[in-house]
Amino acid sequence: MSREDYEVIIGLEVHSELSTKTKIFCSCPTTFGGSPNTQTCPICMGMPGTLPVLNEKVVEYAVKAGLATNCEISRNSKNDRKNYFYPDLPKAYQISQFDEPLCEHGYVEIDTENGKKKIRLTRIHIEEDAGKLNHDEFAGDSLVDLNRAGVPLIEIVSEPDLRSSEEVENYLRKLKSILEYIEVSDCKMQEGSFRADVNVSVRKKGESKLGTRTEMKNMNSFRSITRAIEYEIDRQIDVIEDGGEVEQESLRWDDVSGKTFPMRDKEDAQDYRYFPDPDLVAIKLSDEYIENIRKNLPELPESRKERYLTQYNLSEKDAKIITSSKYLSDLFENAIKVCNNPKAVSNWIISDISRILNETEIDPIEIPFDSNQLGKLIILIDKGTISSSIAKKVLVEMFEHPRDPEDIIDEKGWVQISDEGAIKDVVMRVLEANPQSVADFKGGKQKALGFLVGQAMKETRGKANPQMLNQMFLEELNK
Ligand code: ADP
Ligand code: ZN
Ligand code: MG
């Protein structure tokens, strides 16, 4: 049997760090990248005898996330202790939610080849993040940094409704954009603010029982997630085809070798002995509280997309790319305010900016220049100060050393040559140096004109105004 005879089943547990100012049970800051252990206190360091107090904002953000993903919000909920030992968790338990999560029974809609598909959410619950072990910096030692301990998380658990790595990527991008739009998480994947445990199983087509799953933990790049799923599907099918059985286990994906490996600690074999945290009061929410959050939810990606179709005349495809990220979408709207040229802004975002983001694997939120600078770049093209080929070079500069495009072109001497005399000089020189092309053009070969313009561009290192060149070549050639 081959891969076509199998069905792939995937369910995801997504962890997203909430962007509250302070931690979930104490008032330490949550900012990323501080020196190790500078953002800690006895509570988040897990000292005995300390008392946690739930940060109200965490509940609000989680309810927002639940409402934006069509969940039912529990009126009664609580925190539980999940017991396990790990050096990054000094208390030896994580405060999480077990049988009474804040949100349940939601869904996220994704676009597939066969139309829209609902991916059901089992639950969304709140919990605290653990600290971080630094293994590499000191030979032979591992040091613990507790700055991340107590940073609030929501865990979003999906039903096993996903059927391919493409659907997984679609779902994750959709979920990420929703969380960005409602501003509950910055979703910076490199910083671990948006990461997924990926559960994969396969079964023969027609089978109704689910196959045994393996779980790849803490994946935080779309590329690795896709590669890991593809690898794992093939591996599981090989095991079954060879007459073996897939073992339920946690796996670690290794990006370098492109393979999964069993993790040494068998976390799945553990019993967490959940019990209600006696230090924390129950979470009771009124209808009024929930309705108030619902009323104040900001515009979601789907409705922004619809709006772009009519307001800016974008195609469905372009609108989808731009609204897939709140940061791209804000960049789009704010740059239009500066240059008043929606078509140009959308073209720059969809082609050059997206290409650079892809190549460098950076998130839109990490774009180093602002909407004002993008708007100014477009004004410079519209005014004819620079050609669009120079503008592409300016954009690369803006990614590398963000500053105003005017400053870049001044520094680099990239201002477009639109002076008639200067253009004419170049045209005459190029015509003289290329008699064969001139003859070709006069003999009916239109393509020769393109070559001549290209030569003139080369001589001016891309700075000549292309429309003027074209026009002047034609004038001279038709004389
Ligand atoms: P945990 O991993 O914490 O034990 P669950 O048993 O609830 O939690 O499952 C976690 C995730 O695994 C869910 O997203 C669920 O959809 C997914 N899942 C469960 N069974 C399978 C399966 N047979 N194949 C693929 N995914 C599965
Ligand atoms: Zn603290
Ligand atoms: Mg799991």
* CA–CA dist 309, 317 (Å, integer): 10
Q: Could you report the per-residue pLDDT of 283-333, keeping only the tens digit for each? A: 999 999 999 999 999 999 999 999 999 999 999 999 999 998 999 999 999
Q: How remote is the CA of residue 315 from the centroid of ligand 1, in Å?
A: 38
- Which ligand is in closest contact with the Cα of 158? 1
Query: Whose Cα sits closest to atom 4 in ligand 1?
Result: 268
Mutate to test the pocket of ligand 1, among 7, 10, 13 (most ligand atoms within 8 A of CB): 13
Mean pLDDT computed over 169-190: 94
| Contact by Cβ (8 Å): 12, 171 | yes
* CA–CA dist 76, 282 (Å, integer): 7
Mean pLDDT computed over 428-435: 93
CB atoms within 10 A of CB 288: 8
* pLDDT score at 71: 98
Q: How remote is the CA of residue 144 from the centroid of ligand 2, in Å?
A: 15
Type of residue numbered 419: D
CB atoms within 10 A of CB 419: 12
- Which ligand is in closest contact with the Cα of 147? 2
Q: How remote is the CA of residue 195 from the centroid of ligand 1, in Å?
A: 16
CB atoms within 10 A of CB 219: 24
CA 424, 427, 431, 437 dihedral sign is: negative
* pLDDT score at 378: 96
* pLDDT score at 363: 85
Go through 88-125 and write b for each residue having 16 or more CB atoms within 10 A of its CB, e for each that does not: ebbbebbbbbeebbbbbebbbebeeeeeebebebbbbb
- Which ligand is in closest contact with the Cα of 146? 2
* pLDDT score at 268: 54
Q: Which atom of ligand 1 is nearest to the CA of 161?
A: 16
Q: How remote is the CA of residue 372 from the centroid of ligand 3, in Å?
A: 43
Q: Could you report the per-residue pLDDT of 322-368, keeping only the tens digit for each? A: 998 999 999 999 999 999 999 999 999 999 999 999 898 888 989 99
* pLDDT score at 138: 67
- Which ligand is in closest contact with the Cα of 148? 2
* Residue written as token pair 């179709």: 309
Mean pLDDT computed over 190-210: 94
* β-strand partners of 204: 6
Q: How remote is the CA of residue 363 from the centroid of ligand 3, in Å?
A: 26
Q: How remote is the CA of residue 374 from the centroid of ligand 3, in Å?
A: 42
Sequence-distant (6+) residues with CB within 8 A of 164 are: 8, 10
Ligand 1-lining residues (CB < 6 angstroms): 9-13, 157-160, 199-201, 210-211, 213, 215
Q: Which atom of ligand 1 is nearest to the CA of 201?
A: 24
Residues 5, 109, 293, 94, Cα dihedral to 10°: 20
Secondary structure (DSSP) of 150-210: T-EEEEEEEPS-B-SHHHHHHHHHHHHHHHHHTTS----TTTTSEEEEEEEEEEETT--SP
Q: What is the share, in percent, of the chain residues with pLDDT greater than 90? A: 80
Is pLDDT of 92 > 90? yes
Q: What is the share, in percent, of the chain residues with pLDDT greater than 70? A: 98
Binning the chain into helix, strand and coil, the percentages to the nearest 5 are 40, 20, 40
CB atoms within 10 A of CB 182: 21
CA 310, 312, 317, 322 dihedral sign is: negative
Q: How remote is the CA of residue 305 from the centroid of ligand 1, in Å?
A: 32
Q: Could you report the per-residue pLDDT of 18-77, keeping only the tens digit for each? A: 999 999 999 999 999 899 999 999 999 999 999 999 999 999 999 999 999 999 999 999
Which pLDDT band, with edges at 50, 70 and 90, does 110 fall under? very high
Q: Could you report the per-residue pLDDT of 456-472, keeping only the tens digit for each? A: 988 888 888 888 889 99
- Which ligand is in closest contact with the Cα of 156? 1
Distances in whole angstroms, Cα of residue 155 to Cα of each of 62, 193, 265: 9, 11, 22
For the whole model, what pTM was predicted?
0.82
Which pLDDT band, with edges at 50, 70 and 90, does 2 fall under? confident
* pLDDT score at 370: 96
pLDDT mean across residues, the chain:
93
* CA–CA dist 295, 63 (Å, integer): 12
* Beta strands per DSSP E along 247-400: 250-254, 259-262, 275-276, 283-284
DSSP category for residue 98: S
- Which ligand is in closest contact with the Cα of 26? 2
Q: Could you report the per-residue pLDDT of 119-172, keeping only the tens digit for each? A: 999 999 999 999 998 887 667 788 999 999 999 999 999 999 999 999 999 999
Mutate to test the pocket of ligand 1, among 213, 214, 233, 250 (most ligand atoms within 8 A of CB): 213
Query: Whose Cα sits closest to atom 7 in ligand 1?
Result: 157
Mean pLDDT computed over 246-254: 91
Q: How remote is the CA of residue 271 from the centroid of ligand 2, in Å?
A: 28
Q: How remote is the CA of residue 91 from the centroid of ligand 2, in Å?
A: 13
Which pLDDT band, with edges at 50, 70 and 90, does 1 fall under? confident
Sequence-distant (6+) residues with CB within 8 A of 149 are: 40, 44, 45, 46, 88, 89, 90, 128, 129, 130, 131
Q: Which atom of ligand 1 is nearest to the CA of 159?
A: 16
Mutate to test the pocket of ligand 1, among 199, 229, 233 (most ligand atoms within 8 A of CB): 199
Q: How remote is the CA of residue 11 from the centroid of ligand 3, in Å?
A: 9
Is pLDDT of 265 > 70? no
Type of residue numbered 297: L
* CA–CA dist 234, 327 (Å, integer): 36
